[in-house]
Amino acid sequence: MKIPIPIEAFEDKFPLVPVGEYKAQLCNVVEKPSKLGDSSNLWWEYQLLNYDNVKVNHCTSLKAVAFFNIIKMLEALGANKTDLQGKKEFDPLSYVGKTCTVIINHKMVQDKMASYISGFNKN
């Protein structure tokens, strides 16, 4: 049996972005179940505006104990922490199109070095 290997299999869908700070725009947010199935995660897709418009994903848990990570990110995107404290819910898609500064670092993922967002700052 012979199975053709598509050329796309060799394309790097997630290029290694150099460590540093980049201006980024939030492009999309998708809710997905966690791997353990005990909660949900939000997957935030950012486009690096000053690095070839490369897209980088960031995952946050919706568990109450981890929600501080979402609050930090929303503040970087322009949300007011005091205003957020008075709300019972928020719409993550309302932040699509907003910009912030993301901090990119590297880690090993499946025996390959990968870029990830390790922090956020306001522009």
Q: For the domain covering 7-121, report its CATH number.
A: 2.40.50
pLDDT at site 36? 84
67: amino acid identity, one letter: F
**pLDDT above 90 (res 15):** no
The proportion of the chain whose per-residue pLDDT surpasses 70, expressed as a percent, equals 94
**Residue boundaries of the structural domains of the chain:** 7-121
Lowest mean pLDDT among 3-12, 70-79, 86-95, 114-123: 3-12
pLDDT at site 8? 64
DSSP H helix total and E strand total for the chain = 2, 5
The pLDDT tens digits for 83-119 are: 888 788 899 999 999 999 999 999 998 888 999 999 9
Q: Which of 111, 112, 98, 113 is nearest to 17 (CA)?
A: 113
pTM summary value = 0.86
